[in-house]
C-alpha cells in the first residue's frame, strides 16, 4: 500500500495513509476515463472511501487535498454531496464519497480492473502458441485481482485505530461515519458512543446531522437519552418502541403525545392504536 510522503504545500498536511485500487506500478494516462477506488485516512484520522473516474490514477497530491477538506471544521457535519461539490470547486476533480462498509466493499467490477486485465491477457495469450481458454483465463485473473484488493484493503485497515475498528464493526459496520464517530481519544466518550449505538441503533443515521447535536452531546456526557430525545423530537413526531430489559427497541416515528420517559414501564410506549401490543408490531 502506498503511503504519503510529507507534502511541501503551504496548507496541506499529509494523510496518515492512503491506497488506490487498482494500483499501478507506474503513472499511466489512459485513452479513456477509468474508475478507481481510493481509501484514505485523513490527517485528523477520518476514514474516507471514494470513487473517482479519471484518465490517471489518484496521486499523493489529490489524496492530500481530499484529506484536507474532510478535516476542515467547516465541513465536519455537512453532507457528502456538499463535500464533493467543494472538492470539485476547489481542486477541479470529481469524486464520489461512499458511505459503505469497507469490510464488504468489492470494487472489482466497479473499477473495471478485471475486464481490463482480461482484455490485455487475452491479447497476449492469442499471440502465443499455447493460448489459454477464455473462461479459464477470466477465472484466473478474477482470483488474482480479488486477492490483490483483499490484501490492499486489509493492509489499510491494519493502519487504522484498532479499537475504533472493533467498535465500528460492533456498531453496524466499518463505514466512514461510524468510524469517525467512535474514533475519539477520550476513553469515556468512546465507551458512551459505542453503548449508545448498540442500544439505540436508529442513532446511526443521525450522527452526522447538525439538527441532533443536543442528542449527540448527551451521549458524550453520559446523560439519559430518553429525556433528551423527548425534548429534541417534535411532540407529534416522536418515536415508539419496546423496552426489553435495559435495551430500547425503537421501531419507527409515529404521531403521539406521550412522554418518552415512560419507556421504563417495559411496554410499548404508545398504549393504544397502532402501538398497542394487541395489534402486533407497529
CA distance 5 to 23: 17
CA distance 181 to 203: 11
Q: Which residues contact 9 (CB under 8 A, 6 or more apart)?
A: 61, 64
CB atoms within 10 A of CB 84: 17
Q: Which residues contact 78 (CB under 8 A, 6 or more apart)?
A: none
Assess contact for 204 and 197: CB atoms under 8 A.
yes
Same domain for 35 and 122, yes or no, is no
Same domain for 204 and 146, yes or no, is no
Assess contact for 17 and 2: CB atoms under 8 A.
no
Same domain for 217 and 149, yes or no, is no
Taking Cα atoms as reference points, which of 260, 276, 19, 47 lies closest to residue 151?
Answer: 19
Same domain for 230 and 145, yes or no, is no
Same domain for 91 and 122, yes or no, is no
Specify if 51 maps to a domain.
Answer: yes
CA distance 141 to 176: 30
Specify if 196 maps to a domain.
Answer: yes
Local confidence pLDDT in tens for the 282 residues of the chain: 444 443 344 578 999 999 999 887 777 888 888 899 999 999 999 999 999 999 999 999 999 999 999 999 888 778 899 999 999 999 999 999 999 999 999 888 777 777 777 777 766 665 555 567 778 878 888 888 889 999 999 999 999 999 899 989 988 899 998 999 888 768 888 888 888 888 777 777 777 666 777 888 888 888 877 777 667 665 544 444 433 344 444 443 433 333 333 333 333 333 333 433 333 444
Picking from 158, 192, 222, the residue at the C-terminal end of a domain is 158
Q: Range of 262's domain?
A: 184-279
Pairing of the two strands 47-54 and 239-244: unpaired
CA distance 61 to 5: 10
Cell of 61: 497530491
Specify if 64 maps to a domain.
Answer: yes
Number of independent structural domains in the chain: 3
Specify if 167 maps to a domain.
Answer: no
Specify if 87 maps to a domain.
Answer: yes
Amino acid at each position: 500500500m502506498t503511503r504519503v510522503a510529507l507534502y511541501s504545500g503551504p496548507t496541506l498536511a499529509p494523510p496518515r495513509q492512503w491506497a488506490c485500487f487498482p494500483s499501478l506500478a507506474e503513472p499511466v494516462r489512459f485513452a479513456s476515463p477509468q474508475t478507481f477506488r481510493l481509501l484514505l485516512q485523513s490527517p485528523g484520522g477520518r476514514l474516507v472511501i471514494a470513487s473517482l473516474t479519471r484518465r490517471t490514477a489518484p496521486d499523493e497530491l489529490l489524496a492530500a487535498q481530499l484529506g484536507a477538506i474532510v478535516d476542515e471544521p467547516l465541513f465536519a457535519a455537512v453532507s457528502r454531496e456538499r463535500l464533493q461539490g467543494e472538492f470539485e470547486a476547489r481542486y477541479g476533480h470529481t469524486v464520489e464519497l461512499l458511505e459503505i462498509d469497507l469490510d464488504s466493499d468489492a470494487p472489482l467490477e466497479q473499477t473495471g480492473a478485471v475486464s481490463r486485465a482480461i482484455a490485455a491477457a487475452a491479447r497476449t495469450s492469442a499471440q502465443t502458441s499455447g493460448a489459454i481458454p477464455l473462461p479459464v483465463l477470466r477465472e484466473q485473473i478474477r482470483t488474482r485481482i480479488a486477492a490483490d484488493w483483499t490484501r490492499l484493503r486489509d493492509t489499510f485497515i491494519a493502519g487504522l485505530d484498532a479499537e475504533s475498528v472493533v467498535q465500528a464493526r460492533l456498531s453496524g459496520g466499518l463505514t466512514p461515519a461510524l468510524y469517525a464517530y467512535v474514533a475519539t481519544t477520550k476513553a469515556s466518550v468512546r465507551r458512551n458512543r459505542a453503548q449508545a449505538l448498540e442500544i439505540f441503533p436508529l442513532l446511526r443515521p443521525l450522527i452526522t446531522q447538525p439538527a441532533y447535536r443536543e442528542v449527540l452531546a448527551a451521549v458524550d456526557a453520559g446523560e439519559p437519552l430518553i429525556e433528551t430525545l423527548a425534548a429534541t423530537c417534535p411532540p407529534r413526531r416522536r418515536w415508539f418502541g419496546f423496552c426489553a430489559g435495559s435495551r430500547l427497541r425503537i421501531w419507527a416515528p409515529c404521531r403521539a403525545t406521550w412522554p418518552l420517559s415512560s419507556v421504563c414501564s417495559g411496554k410499548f410506549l404508545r398504549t393504544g392504536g397502532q402501538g398497542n401490543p394487541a395489534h402486533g408490531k407497529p
